[in-house]
Amino acid sequence: MKSVSDLELIFELHFDKIYKFFYFKTLSKEIAEDLTSETFLAFADKLKKEDIEDEKKYIYGIAKIIFTKYLRTKYKENIVHFEDTNQFENYVEKVNEARSVNLEDVALRFIDMLPLKQQEVIRLRLIEKASLSEIAERLGKNMNYVKTTQKRGLKSLKKLIACTP
Amino acid sequence: MESKENKEIQEFLDSIKSESIYPDSNFKSELKYKFVTKAKGHGFFYSLSWSSKFLAFSFVMLFLFILSFSVVSAFLLLAEPEEAINEKEVFSNVVKANKNFVNSTTNTFTVANTIIEPIVESQASTPDNPDVINTEVPEALVASIINDSANNFSETKIKIAPGPKSNFCGEGDPYFDLPEINFENYNYYNAKSGEIYSKYKNINPDGVVLDYNLVTPDSYIEYKGGSYAIKIEQDNTIPVNNTDTTPVSFPETDSSASDNAIESLFGENANVEKAEIFKGRKHYVITWESVPTCPTQIAQNVNVQFDEKIINKAWVDAETFTMSKQEEYFGSIADENLIRSVETSTNLKNVNFDEVSNLFVFEYEVKIINKDLSQNYSQNMQDTLFQFVKENQILVPNLTSNRLEITSFFSAKVTAPTLFDYRKDRDFYPNTEDGEQMYQFYISSNQSDQSIYPDFAMSFKETLGSKEVSVTAEPKSKSFDQIKKDFYVENSEPLERMINIDGISTGITLFEEKLPANIITEGNTTPTWIAIAEVDGRFYVFRSFRITEIAEFLSLLHFNSLDANLDEDAKVIKGLLNKALNYAPINTTPGVESSNQKVSFNSFDSKFTVSFDSKDSYTFQKGGSTFRYGQVKGDGFTLTFYNDDNAYFQTLNIQEEISTKNLGTVSRVKVTNSESNYYVLNSLIQKGAGCRISETETLNTPCAKVFLNNQGFNLKAFCDAQTLNGINQCNEIIKSLDLKKNQ
């Protein structure tokens, strides 16, 4: 059975990486907190029952399942394909490394991958900071079109950020 | 007043600010507390050893718990349960009741996502990898029963029937436009022995089996309604008390369903409409909306947006909160708008195996053909690749730099005999129109347009670093201009340089890769160099990875072109193929103390030796070469070597004077500091010809990423041409390529 200080050490070691990864993928503190909690509490339950030697592999194994499940339930997607825990751990590492430096830049680059109509509106809104009425005027569309396209665009953008490996 | 749309935009902009990435300190402290107390199995003693802040926190939590308990109790006492429907509570209970089943085919709730998927996938292709059978099939099918401490047997029957609008995505959509399917699944799990019995079958309304799998502790039977079934003998027991395996499942948390979890399951505008009696039991009728997406259109890169939404209607058992029936409508709830309906019945119980054993016997009177798992498919592939380069007279470039070793050799144009070749046999499918369709579907989904592929792709990696060079042999029919286009160097200035090919100084053309704007590259700014050399009327393309300087790249490019028709070269080619197909990289996972050290392991053959120079550094020897890794700081390291079964079989202490020792087949190495178990370096050697995964890359599209890491890079040209919508398609292609490679 691990001691309290052992457990604290394990937590401190993995918490930041796992939380940030979930945040980068969901852009929501609430969801990142939910997923991180789910990961650590599931792991705690396991630790309670048996002494796990290779805790890193195990905790990333749980995080992998939780993240895959999240994508599947939230976006009905199974885009990210990981063959094993090591691969997922590397992926977490890579996402953290890339997005810690300038999250804004990385996130906005996904706009290029949106369908054209959404790209147009989202680019004007997020990068040029244009108002809804300005966009409607520039695109010669009504407000309803701009609002709907913005809604769809933001949704697609979040999905891209979450699901793009 | 701020509009909803402005708020959404502002929230998004706030969420991508750098300062938003940091976790809330209270959340962290709280979770840490919960984690430690839960892991220790109690909270009180732990809280005593903490600061008063956490002691206070414990009291606050206790107070809140008592308060909430009182409120709930009062509510339960005062409320009229028969009349009032607490919507949030219903949703929360449904989420909780179905949480265990999300990834399982026994899922009674996310039917549309988890039941259809395996059916579609099973019709498209089943992974051609014995490992997948060994783990994923039992895991997916029995995960729910393994997690269920009260029951050891589950029986699920699901009927999926299409409605008038089932083809709203277009004819033949694999997700919606399916014929009626009757799905049955039975699982039995013996927690003591780890034995699994699992069976599922899909039957059409005429009673014809479309797909059937039976997993018992010692075998796997696959049957698709044809003239024979296939039996593969293997161990399907889930290791009990094996702490080193990736968890097949994990326990549920105590927390109640969050709004996010509810939204994840129900999407938008969810309502509990009413309570009514359905099939003799009280049910809640729930409706919610979801956005239509069509997998076929996505795969074909067609961007279709519907004005209509999908309206879901479900009957949820008021006692168990499992779903008994679900209907999906296109636009609005009306008979003519029904896309499909799904009826489910689940029976969970605790039984003696004898009571259900008859369910786990193959029940069809067709012959069973046994397949031998022990055949060496890697050798098959090696021989097939050799014959391919020999018969097609394709020279094989062997980079002569002693800094490099070959890590992969792949050709999409080669298919070696595999364990799963029976799936290409028409007789394996029913002798009906459906059977013909299933057969054609399998064949076509496993075929690809080979004209886009190079004749073969090879990768070489630094033995003591991470720099890489990949090479493709382009088809003779491919022009220089086409190659430039495929490798994104059309707009790059060509540089003429000389390298040594077969001992002769020869000209090559060098470019810097210029990726189109729609390709996302994350994190890596190292330029990618592309060198094109013409040898024997064929272009060979070399690509750099993580090499900054042109001069360094050029220094690695010298090569001999080997001809498989010459005895001496044939021997070298066979050696390269053997090495490439058995390449097994190790990913290192630095532990606590070593997190600031980068200890890299490289590939090992199945046999290798290890020696230690001193207590602080160690050397691995492979074949005739010696690679030194170190410096590992600390005293008294222990290296533990594990075999395939995860059982350690050799422990060496670095302090001992050991020169060399043959360690046999090793699949995992663990380095432990004697002072604490946490001070470890932990490594996993991935076995087999296997996909070399990750760690790398300049990264382009996800497809390119996977492909680049595995085999080469020419598929990139194909994948990059796609927008995001092409990702699924690319992944499918890559999956099939991976499988081919893994055979």
Q: Considering only alpha carbons, which residue of chain A is nearest residue B32? A: A11
Chain A residues in contact with B134 by the CB 8 A cut-off are none
* Residue with the larger pLDDT of the pair B198 and B299: B198
Q: Taking CB atoms and an 8 Å cutoff, what residues of chain B touch A144?
A: none
Query: What does the pLDDT average to over A130-139?
Result: 88
- Inter-chain residue contact A150 with B691, CB threshold 8 Å: no
The helix (run of H) or strand (run of E) holding residue B503 is none
Which of A57, A64, A105 is the mutation pick for testing B, counting most B CBs within 10 A?
Answer: A57
**Which residues from A are below 8 Å from B706, CB to CB?**
81, 165
Tell me what pLDDT residue B66 has.
28
| Whole-angstrom distance, CA of residue B50 vs CA of residue A116 | 55
Measured CA to CA, the distance from residue B688 to residue B741 in angstroms comes to: 10
- For residue A117, give the 3-state DSSP assignment: helix
First to last CA, chain A: 37
Using alpha carbons, select from B581, B578, B603 the residue that is nearest to residue B461.
Answer: B603
Question: Among candidates B148, B125, B137, B563, which has minimal Cα distance to B386?
Answer: B563
The residue with greater pLDDT, A42 or B556, is: B556
**Is pLDDT of A115 > 80?**
yes
**Neighbour-count burial for B117-141, b at 16+ CB within 10 Å, e otherwise:** bbbeebbbbbbbbbeebbbebbbbb
**Set of chain A residues whose Cβ sits within 8 Å of the Cβ of B34:** 37, 40-41, 44
How distant is the Cα of B393 from the closest Cα of chain A, in angstroms?
A: 35
Q: Which of A70, A90, A107 sits opposite B16 (nearest CB)?
A: A107
Tokens of A128: 């040029």
Q: CA-based Rg of chain A, rounded to a whole angstrom? A: 19
d(CA B126, CA B114): 16
Partners of residue A157 in chain B, C-beta under 8 Å: 12
Q: Do A20 and B110 touch (CB under 8 A)?
A: no
Q: Give the count of beta carbons closer than 10 Å to the beta carbon of residue B634.
A: 17
Greatest mean pLDDT among B107-111, B147-151, B201-205 lies in B201-205
Chain-chain contact of A48 with B39 (C-beta, under 8 angstroms): yes
Of A53, A83, A101, nearest to B691 by CB-CB distance is A83
Instruction: Say if residue B101's pLDDT is above 80.
Output: no
The amino acid that residue A156 corresponds to is S
Q: Mean per-residue pLDDT for B113-131? A: 35
Q: Is the Cβ pair A46, B251 closer than 8 Å?
A: yes
Q: What mean pLDDT comes out for the span A141-145?
A: 86
**Alpha carbon of B487: minimum distance to chain A alpha carbons (Å):** 20
Q: B648: distance to nearest CA of chain A, Å?
A: 13
Neighbours of B543 (CB within 10 A): 25
Please state, in angstroms and as integers, the Cα–Cα distance from residue B653 to each residue in A83, B543, B591, B639, following that order.
Answer: 32, 42, 18, 6
Please list, in sequence order, all residues whose beta carbon lies within 8 angstroms of the beta carbon of residue B256, skipping any fewer than 6 positions away.
B92, B96
pLDDT recorded at residue B547 = 86
DSSP B62-104: HHHHHHHHHHHHHHHHHS-TTT---HHHHHHHHHHHHHTTTTS
How many beta-carbon contacts under 8 Å exist across A and B? Answer: 238
Check residues B635 and B232 and name the one with the higher pLDDT: B232
> Cα B248 to chain center, whole Å?
14
Chain A nearest-CA distance from B125, in A, is: 16
Indicate the average pLDDT of chain B. Answer: 63
Residues of chain B contacting residue A99, judged by C-beta atoms under 8 Å apart: 21, 522
Q: pLDDT tens digit string along B387-444?
A: 999 999 999 999 988 888 887 787 767 776 766 778 889 999 888 887 887 788 777 6
Of A24, A42, A99, the CB nearest to B253: A42
Residues in chain A closer than 8 A to B38 (CB atoms): 41, 44-45, 48
pTM of the model: 0.46
Residue B140 has pLDDT above 90, yes or no: no
Q: Give which of B215, B203, B209, B212 is closest to B139, Cα–Cα.
A: B215
DSSP annotation of B687: P
Range of weakest confidence among A10-14, B233-237, B537-541: B233-237
Q: Give the mutation candidate from B2, B6, B9 for the A interface (greatest A CB count, under 10 A).
A: B9
The residue among B3, B8, B35, B51 with the most chain A CBs within 10 A of its CB, best to mutate, is B35
Residue A70, SS3 per DSSP: helix
Interface test with A, best of B33, B254, B260, B701 (most A CBs within 10 A): B260
Residues 6+ apart with CB under 8 A from B280: none
CA dihedral B370, B374, B380, B383 (to 10 degrees): -140
- Of the listed ranges B520-524, B532-536, B696-700, the one predicted with least confidence: B696-700
The answer to whether B542 and B471 have CB atoms below 8 angstroms apart is: yes
Q: Which of A34, A100, A126 sits opposite B9 (nearest CB)?
A: A126
A137 CA: distance to closest CA in chain B (Å): 17
Rounded to a whole number of angstroms, the CA Rg of chain B reads 29
Distance CA A124, CA A111 (A): 11
Question: Which residue in the set B113, B518, B592 is minimally distant from A13, CB to CB?
Answer: B592
Determine whether the interchain pair A79/B678 forms a contact, defined as Cβ–Cβ distance below 8 Å.
no
User: Residue B116: is its pLDDT beyond 90?
Assistant: no
Q: Testing the interface with B: which of A8, A51, A66, A83 to mutate, by most B Cβ within 10 A? A: A83
Report how far residue B73's alpha carbon sits from residue B79's, in angstroms, rounded to the nearest whole number.
Answer: 10
Contact between chains at A9 and B591 (C-beta distance less than 8 A): no
Across the interface, of A47, A69, A126, the residue whose CB is closest to B39 is A47
Cα–chain center distance at B78? 50
What was the pLDDT predicted at B362?
A: 93
Q: Does pLDDT of B653 surpass 70?
A: no
Give whole-number Cα distances, B144 to A39, B104, B152, B153, B187, in Å. Answer: 18, 6, 10, 10, 9
Q: Which residues of A touch B735 (CB under 8 A)?
A: 81
Q: pLDDT tens-digit profile of B338-352?
A: 988 888 888 888 999
Q: Is B668 exposed, middle or buried (0-12, 13-18, 19+ CB in 10 A)?
A: buried
Task: Compute the distance between CA of residue B109 and CA of residue B257 in angstroms, rounded to an integer.
Answer: 15
With contacts defined as CB-CB under 8 Å, which chain B residues touch A62?
Answer: 247, 250
Do B103 and A113 lie within an 8 Å CB cutoff?
A: no
Q: Which residues of chain A make contact with B640, given a CB cutoff of 8 A? A: none
- Which of A89, A102, A109 lies at the smallest CB-CB distance from B520? A109
The tens digit of pLDDT for each residue in B272-321 reads 888 888 888 888 898 888 777 665 554 343 445 667 788 888 898 888 88
Closest CA to B275 of B97, B82, B80: B82
In chain A, residues with a C-beta closer than 8 Å to the C-beta of B149 are: none
Q: What's the pLDDT score for residue B450?
A: 58
Quote the pLDDT of residue A47. Answer: 79
The residue ranking higher by pLDDT, B533 or B682, is: B533
A164–B735 CB contact, under 8 Å: no
> For residue A126, what is the DSSP state?
I
Q: Is the pLDDT of residue B707 over 80?
A: no
Q: Pull the structure tokens for residue B420.
A: 């799963």
Strand arrangement, sheet containing B625-629:
B609-614, B617-622, B625-629
Note the pLDDT tens digit of each residue in B6-62: 888 888 888 888 777 788 777 887 788 778 777 766 432 232 222 222 222 222 232
What's the pLDDT band for B82 if we cut at 50, 70, 90? very low
pLDDT score, position B485: 82
Q: What is the pLDDT of residue B354?
A: 93
Token couple for B384 = 């097939």
Q: Taking the CB of residue A127, how many other CB atoms lie within 10 A of it?
A: 10
Contact B243 A53 (CB under 8 A): yes
CB contact under 8 A, A62 and B293: no
Yes or no, beta carbons of B684 and A50 under 8 Å apart: no
**Chain B residues near residue A65 by CB distance under 8 angstroms:** 103, 247, 249-250
For residue B17, the SS3 value is coil
Residues of A in contact with B18 (CB under 8 A): 102-104
Contacts of B5 in chain A (CB under 8 A): 132, 147, 150-151
Contacts of B249 in chain A (CB under 8 A): 65
In contact, B709 and A81? CB cutoff 8 Å: no
Q: Are B523 and A94 an interchain contact pair (Cβ–Cβ within 8 Å)? A: yes
For residue B497, pLDDT over 60 is answered with yes
A chain contacts of residue B692, beta-carbon cutoff 8 Å: none
Least confident of A32-46, B523-537, B689-703: B689-703
What is the structure's pLDDT at B626? 31
- Tens-digit pLDDT profile for residues A70-106: 777 777 665 556 666 777 888 888 787 777 667 787 7
Interface contact flag, B16 A38, Cβ < 8 Å: no
Residue B734 host element (H or E): helix B727-742
| Chain A residue with Cα closest to B98 | A73
Q: What percent of chain B has pLDDT over 90?
A: 13
CB contact under 8 A, A15 and B727: no
